[in-house]
Amino acid sequence: MKATINDVAKQAGVSIKTVSRVMNNEPSVRQPTRDKVMEAVKELNYKPNLAARNLAGTKAYSIAFIYDNPNAYYVIDMQNGILSACKKQGFELLIHPCNSNSEGILDEITNMVKHSRIAGLVLTPPFSEMPEFVKHILALEVDVVRIMSGDNAPDDLAPCIMVNDHQASMSITQHLIDLGHTSIGFIAGQSEHMSTVERLRGYKQALKDNHLEIDQRLIIDGEYSFESGVQGAKQLMSGEVRPTAIFSCNDEIAAGALFASRLMGVSVPEQLSITGFENSPFSRQTWPRLTTANQPNPKIAEGAANLLIAKARKQAPNNITTEYTPQLVVRDSTSQKVKEQ
Amino acid sequence: MKATINDVAKQAGVSIKTVSRVMNNEPSVRQPTRDKVMEAVKELNYKPNLAARNLAGTKAYSIAFIYDNPNAYYVIDMQNGILSACKKQGFELLIHPCNSNSEGILDEITNMVKHSRIAGLVLTPPFSEMPEFVKHILALEVDVVRIMSGDNAPDDLAPCIMVNDHQASMSITQHLIDLGHTSIGFIAGQSEHMSTVERLRGYKQALKDNHLEIDQRLIIDGEYSFESGVQGAKQLMSGEVRPTAIFSCNDEIAAGALFASRLMGVSVPEQLSITGFENSPFSRQTWPRLTTANQPNPKIAEGAANLLIAKARKQAPNNITTEYTPQLVVRDSTSQKVKEQ
DNA sequence: TTTAAAAATGACAGCGCTGTCAATTCATAA
DNA sequence: TTATGAATTGACAGCGCTGTCATTTTTAAA
């Protein structure tokens, strides 16, 4: 039934250890030997037993994905990206949803790391943006890759995959400005998330670049939720300064803003333009479909996982920073500002 | 650092094997001995090493979740349910997204099962509804739990968790009828999915029970997608018989139908009532919010995983069938039928 | 050629646990 | 009490691999 390393060794006429070397891509194996082994591997459909590897060796063959995020689309995208990297490299994925605010969270993760041999962790916000947390994890001697918002790494604790929200927000805001909008509302996500900070920074930058005034009354605190979008839009549309466009920090907020507009009888995009951020599937399923910024989550996640795997194999330098910039996707929720109605 | 079974044995003053017995809940250990061991376990924060267990023993400590479903909400819910059962019982979860139509799918799963020691698989549609597939998996000597649609198990290959879509569809349809609708459109999901068949059956049953005519022109083939909802609704609203309500086979279809209504200038729910199915988060984020049926996915999944774990421990009878009936959730997308406008 | 250093390969122990089976302890009836 | 079988506990091998270190083979310089 299932072939073991022994079977392969016999079949290839070499020692067990040589097969092991080949399977681990170790250098000192002559090419002909390597070929013989690989042939046997193929013939017998051999795959190293993960349990045995874990038990015998000191290397790790799993990576863990720690997250605290209610956004199903985001999580699935990240997960698929990581999974795809893992599958290609014979790694295993441990999923660990958890609550970043819970008291025992540090112990929880520590325990998990101590009890499973783990090559590294993929950290997304908010975990990736908590330096103390990252330090604590690193002290456990596990690698970490952080996916976070910004245009360059805040420190060199661990490799970062940066999402240039600043740049992307400028594009969105510029798009709105190009359509003639000068009074643009902003509904924020949680202010503890770097992405919120960066998106706000990009928004402000674009206004500045176009010599438009930044009006604090147009900037609404919120969180990354539909409900927050509803509230934020209501507040904006009933405030003293009524914007003609709303920059929402993510698609859910935008969907909420859309909902509120309906509620208030404001038509989108005729009377009000609304933008989202993330390009999640439902940004295509609202009415009108959302103008947004596409965040290539699966690609980001796959990159993160690959980095971790490379580090586990000692074939990665320590502090690479990769950067992705979400691209503007124009759909139907934004349009030319009309003159006074 | 990490405690092994040896440490626990020493600390408790018993043999390694006795600790093993306690950890595996085997019967023949005297209570005082058991207590001593458990105390040591707690003191040392001991947790059996999964790799070693897998390598040494014949039992399995992982369950796999095989799915082919583009619906992120569904997948996350299922996954969380399974994960929660696994965590409680010290099991591991292997996630395996895949394509049920791909040619090599059987080999793919077979390989996966052969290469990782797996206690059992949680199968969702379409896999759970392919008897040949299930038989093939069972031949590999892995347990299977099927989550599927229907009001009783179609065969006794493996335990089933049935979702009574028939009943739930009757509730939805009855709700529409109670609102005065007599001409109710139906947009189907893929006809290969039992859920589609069952939902259609429930719809027809309710019509029959209320002595309403079943009009084939009101029943539209489709699939579980937004786009299909758009097409289906367009077709219905431009057909010879114009319904005053539409039963959509899931929330996404309903969202599509909503979108199409906007496109055609039909107002929901005033001129047209629309229902969804699943109660996914976005059924709360459309305008108007969807009347739908709540499917308790995490609970279903946790139940499935628990069943698998119980079977792995030989403490479950072989052919249990559990049943869940989704409950009607009335929101804003349905209303009283108005007289001719 | 010869020879030393380098490269390639192999022998073997042992990772932390469970299965098997033997040894011990306990409970019960004679 | 003692004998007898049942209940409890333990000794030990070995799961499939990798790490260490010894051995063999190759390479290249003398």
Confidence at residue A115, expressed as pLDDT on a 0 to 100 scale: 86
| A315 plus A267 within the same structural domain | no
Structure tokens at B63: 């369950």
> Which of the four pLDDT bands, split at 50, 70 and 90, describes residue B2?
confident
SS3 A158: coil
Shortest alpha-carbon distance between residue B76 and chain A (Å): 6
Q: Give the range of the structural domain holding residue A218, as residue numbers without chain letter.
A: 165-295
Could B51 and A47 be called an inter-chain contact, meaning their C-beta atoms sit closer than 8 Å?
A: no
| B180 plus B286 within the same structural domain | yes
| A174 plus A270 within the same structural domain | yes
| Ranges of H-type helices in A24-164 | 31-44, 50-56, 72-89, 105-115, 131-138
pLDDT digits (tens, 9 = 90+) for B127-155: 999 999 999 999 998 999 999 999 888 88
Of all residues in chain A, the one with the smallest CA distance to B73 is: A72
Shortest alpha-carbon distance between residue A313 and chain B (Å): 20
pLDDT digits (tens, 9 = 90+) for B122-133: 999 999 999 999
Answer whether residue B340 shows pLDDT above 70.
Answer: no
The answer to whether position A36 is within a domain reads: no
> Which of the four pLDDT bands, split at 50, 70 and 90, describes residue B238?
very high
Residue A172 CA from chain centroid, whole number = 20
Residue A59, nucleotide of least CA–C1' distance? D18
The answer to whether position B335 is within a domain reads: no
What angle (nearest 5°) sits at the alpha carbon of residue A326, between those of residues A144 and B79?
A: 55
- The mean pLDDT of A155-174, rounded to a whole number, is 95
| B202 plus B259 within the same structural domain | yes
Q: How many domains is chain A built from?
A: 2
Could A52 and B47 be called an inter-chain contact, meaning their C-beta atoms sit closer than 8 Å?
A: no
Shortest alpha-carbon distance between residue B292 and chain A (Å): 17
Contacts of B111 in chain A (CB under 8 A): 45, 47
Which of A270, A163, A272, A276 is closest to A226 using CA atoms?
A276
Residue B175, amino acid: H
Contact between residue A301 and residue A86 where contact means Cβ atoms under 8 Å apart:
no
| B213 plus B169 within the same structural domain | yes
Could B80 and A72 be called an inter-chain contact, meaning their C-beta atoms sit closer than 8 Å?
A: no
The answer to whether position B306 is within a domain reads: yes
Judging by beta carbons within 10 Å of its beta carbon (0-12, 13-18, 19+), is residue B28 exposed, middle or buried? Answer: exposed
d(CA A319, CA A323): 13
Answer whether residue A24 shows pLDDT above 50.
Answer: yes
The answer to whether position B74 is within a domain reads: yes
d(CA A84, CA A157): 26
Contact between residue A173 and residue A206 where contact means Cβ atoms under 8 Å apart:
yes
pLDDT digits (tens, 9 = 90+) for A142-153: 999 999 999 888
β-bridge mates for residue B249, sequence order: none
| Strand-strand pairing, A62-67 and A120-123 | parallel
pLDDT digits (tens, 9 = 90+) for A93-103: 999 999 999 99
Residue B312 or A34, more confident: A34
| A216 plus A75 within the same structural domain | no
d(CA B200, CA A320): 55
Confidence at residue A91, expressed as pLDDT on a 0 to 100 scale: 92
- The mean pLDDT of A278-295, rounded to a whole number, is 95
Confidence at residue A42, expressed as pLDDT on a 0 to 100 scale: 95
Contacts of A255 in chain B (CB under 8 A): 282, 285
Tell me the average pLDDT of chain B.
94
- The mean pLDDT of A22-41, rounded to a whole number, is 94
Which of A135, A141, A139 is closest to A311 using CA atoms?
A141
Task: List protein-proximal bases of chain D (any atom < 7 A from a CB).
Answer: 7-20
Shortest alpha-carbon distance between residue A72 and chain B (Å): 6
> Which of the four pLDDT bands, split at 50, 70 and 90, describes residue B313?
confident
Out of A156-170, A310-324, B40-54, least confident range: A310-324
Could B95 and A83 be called an inter-chain contact, meaning their C-beta atoms sit closer than 8 Å?
A: yes
d(CA A225, CA A212): 28
Domain CATH code at residue B96: 3.40.50.2300
| B39 plus B88 within the same structural domain | no
d(CA A204, CA A193): 17
- The mean pLDDT of B70-88, rounded to a whole number, is 95
- The mean pLDDT of B87-96, rounded to a whole number, is 92
- The mean pLDDT of B244-251, rounded to a whole number, is 98
> Which of the four pLDDT bands, split at 50, 70 and 90, describes residue B339?
low
pLDDT digits (tens, 9 = 90+) for B29-73: 999 999 999 999 999 999 999 999 999 999 999 999 999 999 999
Domain CATH code at residue B27: 1.10.260.40
Of all residues in chain A, the one with the smallest CA distance to B3 is: A115
- What lies within 8 Å, CB to CB, of A269 at 6+ separation is A288, A332, A333, A334, A335
Taking the CA of residue B102 and the C1' sugar atom of nucleotide C15, their distance in angstroms comes to: 39
- The mean pLDDT of A77-102, rounded to a whole number, is 94
Q: CB contact, 8 Å: B139 with chain A?
A: no
The answer to whether position B55 is within a domain reads: no
> Which of the four pLDDT bands, split at 50, 70 and 90, describes residue B156?
confident
Q: Could you say which of B52, B95, B116 has the minimum Cβ distance to residue A95?
A: B95
d(CA A124, CA A106): 15
> Which of the four pLDDT bands, split at 50, 70 and 90, describes residue B245?
very high
Confidence at residue A321, expressed as pLDDT on a 0 to 100 scale: 83
Of all residues in chain B, the one with the smallest CA distance to A226 is: B285
Confidence at residue A312, expressed as pLDDT on a 0 to 100 scale: 86
| Strand-strand pairing, A292-294 and A327-329 | antiparallel
Confidence at residue A341, expressed as pLDDT on a 0 to 100 scale: 45
| A147 plus A176 within the same structural domain | no
- What lies within 8 Å, CB to CB, of B326 at 6+ separation is B163, B164, B165, B168, B277, B278, B279, B293, B294, B295, B296
d(CA B57, CA B80): 28
Confidence at residue B338, expressed as pLDDT on a 0 to 100 scale: 80
In chain B, pLDDT over 70 holds for what percent of residues? 97
Of all residues in chain A, the one with the smallest CA distance to B229 is: A285
| B170 plus B286 within the same structural domain | yes
Could B287 and A285 be called an inter-chain contact, meaning their C-beta atoms sit closer than 8 Å?
A: no
- The mean pLDDT of A61-82, rounded to a whole number, is 95
- What lies within 8 Å, CB to CB, of A154 at 6+ separation is A131, A148, A160
Answer whether residue A340 shows pLDDT above 70.
Answer: no
The answer to whether position A4 is within a domain reads: no
Tell me the average pLDDT of chain A.
94
User: In chain B, which ranges are E strands?
Assistant: 62-67, 92-97, 120-123, 143-149, 160-163, 184-187, 219-220, 245-248, 273-275, 292-294, 321-324, 327-329
| A172 plus A288 within the same structural domain | yes
d(CA A120, CA A140): 10
Contact between residue B182 and residue B338 where contact means Cβ atoms under 8 Å apart:
no
Instruction: Give DSSP secondary structure letters for A183-213.
Output: -EEEE---TTSHHHHHHHHHHHHHHHHTTPP
Confidence at residue B229, expressed as pLDDT on a 0 to 100 scale: 98
A67-70, long-range: CB within 8 Å, 24+ apart, which pairs?
A67/A96, A67/A97, A67/A98, A67/A124, A67/A127, A68/A97, A68/A98, A68/A99, A68/A100, A68/A126, A68/A127, A69/A124, A69/A125, A70/A225
Confirm whether any atom of chain C, the nucleic acid strand, is less than 7 Å from CB of B17: yes
Confirm whether any atom of chain C, the nucleic acid strand, is less than 7 Å from CB of B54: no
| A108 plus A151 within the same structural domain | yes
The answer to whether position A12 is within a domain reads: no
Confidence at residue B341, expressed as pLDDT on a 0 to 100 scale: 45
Answer whether residue A81 shows pLDDT above 50.
Answer: yes
d(CA A167, CA A203): 9
The answer to whether position B337 is within a domain reads: no
d(CA A253, CA A225): 5
Answer whether residue A242 shows pLDDT above 90.
Answer: yes
- The mean pLDDT of A192-199, rounded to a whole number, is 96
Residue B139 CA from chain centroid, whole number = 24
Contacts of B282 in chain A (CB under 8 A): 255, 282, 285
Contacts of A95 in chain B (CB under 8 A): 79, 83, 93, 95
Size of interface A-B (CB pairs under 8 A): 81
β-bridge mates for residue B186, sequence order: B219, B247
| A185 plus A262 within the same structural domain | yes
Query: Which is it for the CA torsion B260, A269, B268, B327, positive or negative?
Result: positive
